[in-house]
Chain A
Amino acid sequence: MSRFFAGGSSDSETESEEELYSESEEERSEEELSEEEGEDDESTEEDESEAESSDEDEGRGFLKAGAKGSAARFLRGEESEESDEDESKRIVKSAKDKRLDEIDAIIRIIENAKKINDWVHISNEFDKLNKIIAKATQQGETPKLYIKAIAELEDFMNETIKTEKDSKKKMNATNARALNSIKQRIKKNNRQYEDLIAKFRADPDGYLLEAEEILEPVAPVKLRKGAEFEAAAAAIRPGAAAVAVEDTGDAAFATIGRGGRTITITPESIFKQLRSILEARGKKNTDKAEQIRNMERMLDVAVTVYQKIRVLLVLVATRFDLTSSAASFMPVNQWKSAQEEITKLLAILEQNPLYVVQEDAEEVDDDEQEPVPKDGKPLKVFGSIVSLVERLDDEFTRSLQNIDPHTPEYIDRLKEESALYSTIIRSQVYFERVKLDSSANRVLVRRLELLYYKPEQLILTVERLAWSSLPKGVESQITPYSEDQDASRLINAICVKLYNQDNRLFRTRAMLCHVYHHALHNRYFHARDLLLMSHLQATIHTADISTQILYNRTLVQVGLCAFREGMISESQQALQEICGTGRVKELLAQGIQMQRYAQTSPEQEKIERQRQIPFHMHINLELLECVYLTSSMLLEIPFMAQSGSSPDAKKKTISKPFRRMLDYHERQVFTGPPENTRDHIMQASKALAAGDWSTARELIRAIKIWDLIPGTDKIKEMLGEKIQEEGLRTYLFTYGQFYETLSISSLASMFDMSEGKATALVSKTISNNEIAAALDQKTNAIAFIPGVEYSRLQNLALALSDKAVQLIDSYKYR
C-alpha cells in the first residue's frame, strides 16, 4: 500500500490512517488472498509488476475515492473516516510493525510445534505465514525474521526426515502426510528466497542485525489527470490491468499499461502492439475497452495504408469481442463505431487498390518491416471483411430482437439500417472488384435478406438512400444502380446471381426470398411456379431452422397473395399447413408460444429467442388468421351442406381448426354481437349455412382488419361475390331435397345475381355430380331428381370398392 501512496504524500499521519485502512482491507480480502497466493509468489521476483491483489485493492480505493474528487480522497477512504472515531482508543502502529508482530507470533507457534514434532500444526502455520509475508513483500523487502524462520524450518525438516529414516518407530499417518506435503512446499518456497537464505546462513546474526530501516524503494509512477481518470475508473474492472493515478501537475498524459509501463505509441511500434493485443485476445484478464482505446489512438498515429488496414481489422474484431454473451446485444454506440470503421476500411481499400484484404493471405510474422506492394501486384493482407460485415448484420438483428418494438428506441435503431445497407453494398462492390466471389455471394444473401420483405416503394427508397451515401465511382456489376430502378429487377438480379453459385443454402434462401417478393407484389403465378419448381417442399424438413422459418413465411405470403387475388381454395391450401397446426407463432418465429405440458429448458428458450424475427418484419398474425378462417369458411360451409348427414361427414374436413371453432361457437348458450374477428367469421358462417348470405356478407365486411390489406374495397367486393356464390351452392345442397323444381329466376333474385350466372353455377354443380338435378329449358327451372336412397349394405359396398381401389393405388412398384 505504501508504495502506492508514496506518490501522493508521505507524512506520518497518513501512515497511520493507511494502516487502519489496510487493516480493514485485509480482513475483507483474506479469502481472496488465499486464491492469489501463487501469483503473490511471483511478485517478489518481478519488482516492476504489482501483485494482483494489490491491484485490486488499489482499484477499489480509486473507486471509492473517485467519488470525492480531491487529492486527499485517496488518503481518506470511507473506511478510514469511519475509523476516525475510534482512533484515539487504538494504539497507533504502523502496518509494517503490526505485520512483523504477527509474523513473530506465528514463528513462535512454529517453534513450539517443532518441539513436539507436530507437522500438521507446522504446516498450517506455515501457510498462514506465507500469506502474511506475501502482503509484506509487496510493500517492501522480505522481513528478516521470516528468512530466518524458513531457513531454520528447512533445516529442522531435513533433520526430521533423516531421523525418521533411521528410527524404526513410525510417525503417525496424518503427521507423515503433513510432513511430506510441507517438504514440497518448503522447497518450492525457499527457492524464491535462495539468495537471502544463503546470506542468512553465511552470517546468521549479522544478517538479522542489518538495519530494517532500509525503506522500500518507491516506484516512480506516472500520473494522470483527474478528468480522464473518471472514465478510466469506470472501465476498470476487478483485476484490470491499467492503473492511472492522479498527478498534481499538468503532466502530459500517458497510458500506463500493466505493471505501470507506459505505452507510447509510435508508428514503428504499432505492429508490436497489435501483436500483443492479438495474443491477449481470449485471455481472461484482458481489458478489451482499454485495448480499443489504445487502438483508436494507434489509428490516429498510423501513417501508412498498411498500418491503418491492420489496425482497423483488429479494432473492429475486438469491438465485436466486447459483447460475447449470447443474451445481450452489442451496445449501440459500439455498433455504430464498428460500422463507421468498416466503412473507413472499405474506403481505404477503395482508394488504394493495391491493398487487398483476403482470408487466404499469409500472415506476416515480421513486425519490424512493413510489407509494401511490389511490381504493381496487389499486396494481400490477412483478414476477412465478409465476416466483419456479417457480424455487423447479425448484431443489428440481435439488437432489434432485444429492443422493445413499441419504443422510440426501436425506431431509432431501425433507422440505422440504411447505414448497414450501404456498408453491405460497399463491401459487395469491393468483393466484386477484387473478385472474391464467394464473399460477394455471402454479402448478397445479407443484402437480399434486408430487402425481400419490403414493398417495392420501400426498396426503392432504401436503395436511393444507400447509393447517395456512397462516394461516386462506386459501382456494382451485379446490381448496377440507376435512377429509374425497378425493385423487382434488382431482386431478380441478386437472385439470379445467387442461383448460379454452388452453395445450396444460399440458393435455397435466394429462391425463397424471390418467391416472397413475388407474392408480396401479387404475382401469385410467378410465386407459385417458382416455389413448385424449386421442389423445396420435399427437402425443407432437412434444412436448418432459420431456413424453415423463411419457408414458412414464404408459404404464408403466397397464401395471402392468393387470397388477395381471389383464389380462395389456393389460399386455403397454402395456409393450411401453417395455420392448421395452431403453432403459428412458433412456425413464423414471431413470438414464443408456451406449449402446454411441454417442458422447455431455459437454454432452449434462449435459442428460441435468438431465432425470433425482428418486429418490423412480422406478418400480421391476426390478419393471417382472418384470411385463413374466411377462406376456410367459403370452402367448408358448402362442403358441410353437401355431405349433409352422411356417415362420412364428420370424418372429412377441410379445415380442422375452423370446424373446432364452429363447434365451440354453436355450443354456446348465448351469442352476443360479434366482438373480434373470429366472432365475425363464426357468425357469418352460421348465417351462410342457413342461406342468409347477405347477413354473412355484412358480417365479413365489418371486420376491421381488412383495412390492412392494400385495396380493401376490392377485397371486400370479391368476398361479397364469393359469399353469394357459395351461398347459392349451400342453399342448393341444403334445401334441394325439399324441392321438386326450383325456378332459376327466383334463385337468381334470391341471391341477387344475374340469371346467366346462376345458370352457370347450377350447371357446374350438376356437371360435377354434386347434386342430382337437371335443368329444364322450357320452364327455366331446376328439376331435382328424386334421390335414390341406398340401403346400408349398398353404401358399405360402395365404400368397400372405394377402399379397394385406394389400396391398390397405394402399392408402389419398385
Chain B
Amino acid sequence: MASTTASSDLVPRILPYLDRLLIFALLEHLSEQKLYPADVLLQAKYDVMKDTNMMDYISETYKAIHGADATVPAEITERRNEVLEKLAEFEKKAEKILEIVRNPEVVNALRSDPAQNFSYVKENYGVTPEMVDILYHYGKFQYNCGKYTEAAEHLYQFRMLSNDSEMVISATWGKLAAEIVTLQWENAVSELLKLKELIDQKNFADPLVQLNHRTWLIHWALFFFFNAENGHEKLTDLFLSPAYLNAIQTSCPWILRYVTVTVLTSRNARKTSAGRSSTYATYQKQIRELVRVIKQERYEYSDAVTDFVYALYVDFDFEAAQTKLAEAAAVVKTDPFLVGSADEFLESARHLVSELYCQIHQRIDIRDLSARLNLSPEEGEKWIVNLIRDTRVDAKINFSEGTVIMNHPPQSVYQQVIERTKGLSFRTNQVLAHMLTTRSATVNGAEAGEVQE
C-alpha cells in the first residue's frame, strides 16, 4: 500500500500551483492523514511559512522542530517586530478610508459599478485613488499575517472601488484564498465563479498567461473537495467547460484524476436534484466526455483512477476494471483532496460497473457480478436488489439458479423519435428570437446608415 501511495501521490505536482497559505492548509490536512512522517511535514510547514508574516506561528513551528527550549533565531524576532510596526503603519494609513467605507450610508450607496462608486466617494468624502490602493496593500499584508477575515473584508471593499483590472484580479485571488483558508465555502464558490469570469473575459496579450491563470484556478478549486456537499456540481462544470478541459490537457493532466472522481460522484449529488432523466442524460454525456479526454491523454498521464475508467469504457475488460478499482480505491483513500469522497467514489464506480454489466448481459451470475464489484455474494445480492429498486434497470432475480435475468426491450421507435425531437421546439424558438434580434439590429443599422447619408 505504501508503494502505491508514494507513486500515485500527486501532492508534489500540485504544490507549485498553490499559494503559500493554501499549501499550509494542505499540509495541515496531510498531518491529519498521517501519510507522511510528522517531522517532515513540520519542516515543510516551516519552510512554507518562513517568508510569510505569521511570525508567532513561525517561532512555534521552529520550536516544534528543534525542541521546545531551542531559542528562536534573532532574525525571526526581528522580523516579528518589523511586521508589527508595518501593521501599525498600515492601520494608521488605512484608518480614514476604512472609516468611510464602513460608514453605513456609504455601504448603502455602493452599487456594482466600481467607477460609479469611486466617483461617489470621491465627491462626497474626498477619497483619492491612493487611498483605495492602500486598502489593497493593507488587505494583502493582513492576508500574509494570517488575518484572513479582515483581509477578505478589505479586499472586498477595494474591489468595490477600484477599476484597475490587474489589481482587481489580484484582489480576487487574495479573497478566494482567504475564503478557502477560513472555510467560507459559500463565499469561496462565488469568488471562484467571479474569478473564472474575470479570466475568461479579460483579453490577455499572451495566451500563456491566461493558461497559467486557469491552471491556478483549477488547482485552487481542488480545495472544494474538503467540502463535498456544495462544490461538486460547480466543480464538474468548471472542469468540463471546454476552456478548462483544454487547460487541464495542456498544462496539468494529473488533474484528470480529480475530474474523474468529481464526474463519477456527481451522480449521487444529482440524485437529490429534480428532473432526474435529464440529469441522467447529462451525466452520460459527461462520462463520454471524460472517457474521450482520458483516452487522449493516456500517453501523458494515467493512474489507477483513470485506468479504471479506461478499462471499463474503452477495453470493456471487466476483470481489469475490477483490479483497477481496488487500486483506485486505495489511491483515493490516500489522496489528501479525495479522502473525503472515497466511499462515494467507490459506490459510484460500482454503479457504473453494474450498469454497464447489465446493459451488456442478458443473464448474469450473481456470484460473478459480486466478484466484479469486490463484494461478497450476499452483499452482491443486496446490491443488485437495490440497483433494481433504484434505477431503471429492468431485471428479475432467479434465486434457484442464482442469476439475474435482464430484460432488454428494444427501444420503441416512437420513444426514439420523442427523445430526439425533445429539445427541438425550444431551440427553434431560441434561434427565432436570435434571428429577430439580429435582424432588427441590422435593419436599424441600415436605417441609421441611410439617415447619415
Contacts and interface: CB of A to CB of B under 8 A. Distances in A.
A30 interface: no
B428 interface: yes
Nearest to B398: A778
A774 B362 contact: yes
Interface stretch (A31-39, A129-137, A675-683, A803-811): A803-811
B372 to A, nearest CB: 11
Interface string B418-436: 0011001001100100100
Contacts of A794: 413
Interface string A99-123: 0000000000000000000000000
B443 interface: no
Contact of A775 (B361, B416, B434): B361
Contacts of A760: 315-317
B413 A775 contact: no
B421 A804 contact: yes
A767 B316 CA distance: 9
Contacts of A787: 410
B417 A797 contact: yes
Nearest to A741: B362
Name the residue among B401, B413, B416, B427 with the largest chain A CB count within 10 angstroms. B413
B360 interface: yes
B447 interface: no
A785 B408 CA distance: 8
A767 B359 contact: yes
Contact of A756 (B250, B319, B360, B421): B319
A798 B319 contact: no
Given A763-B316, A775-B362, A813-B434, A801 B356 contact: no
Interface stretch (B187-195, B234-242, B341-349, B363-371): B363-371
A790 B424 contact: no
A802 interface: yes
A814 B416 CA distance: 31
Contacts of A797: 413, 417
Contact of B406 (A764, A774, A779, A804): A774
A777 B417 contact: no
A502 to B, nearest CB: 15
A797 B364 CA distance: 36
A776 interface: yes
A347 interface: no
Interface string A755-777: 01000110110110000101111
Interface in A522-540: 525, 533
The contact size tier of chain B is: 20 to 34
Nearest to B421: A801
Contacts of B365: 777-778
B186 to A, nearest CB: 33
B403 interface: yes
Nearest to B361: A775
B438 interface: yes
Nearest to B362: A774
Nearest to B315: A760
Contact of A774 (B316, B319, B408, B424): B408
A71 B356 CA distance: 105
A666 to B, nearest CB: 34
A533 to B, nearest CB: 8
A305 interface: no
B394 interface: no
Contacts of B319: 756
A783 interface: yes
Given A756-B317, A764-B316, A778-B403, A801 B362 contact: no
Nearest to B359: A767
B410 A763 contact: no
A533 B434 CA distance: 33
A780 to B, nearest CB: 10
Contacts of A766: 359-360
A814 B439 CA distance: 11
B300 interface: yes
A540 to B, nearest CB: 20
B399 interface: no
Contacts of A761: 316
A761 B417 CA distance: 29
A766 B417 CA distance: 21
B316 A808 contact: no
A808 B362 contact: no
Contacts of A364: none
A425 to B, nearest CB: 32
A785 B368 contact: no
Contacts of B362: 774-776, 783
A788 interface: yes
B250 to A, nearest CB: 8
B247 to A, nearest CB: 13
Interface string A495-536: 000000000000000000000000000000100000001000
Contact of A808 (B356, B359, B406, B428): B428
B360 A776 contact: no
A197 B242 CA distance: 98
Given A778-B363, A802-B420, A804-B424, A790 B413 contact: yes
Name the residue among B250, B361, B401 with the largest chain A CB count within 10 angstroms. B361
A109 to B, nearest CB: 80
Contacts of A775: 360-362
Interface string B139-171: 000000000000000000000000000000000
Given A525-B300, A797-B417, A808-B431, A776 B410 contact: no
B413 A798 contact: yes
25 contacts: A756-B317, A756-B319, A760-B316, A763-B360, A764-B315, A767-B356, A767-B359, A767-B360, A774-B362, A776-B362, A777-B361, A777-B363, A777-B365, A777-B368, A778-B365, A797-B417, A798-B417, A801-B417, A801-B420, A804-B420, A805-B421, A805-B424, A808-B424, A808-B428, A813-B434
Given A760-B317, A777-B364, A808-B431, 5 more contacts: A533-B250, A775-B360, A778-B401, A787-B410, A814-B438
Interface of A: 525, 533, 756, 760-761, 763-764, 766-767, 772, 774-779, 783, 785, 787-788, 790, 794, 797-798, 801-802, 804-805, 808, 811, 813-814
Q: Which 6 A-B pairs have the closest CB atoms?
A: A774-B362, A763-B316, A801-B420, A764-B316, A776-B363, A775-B361
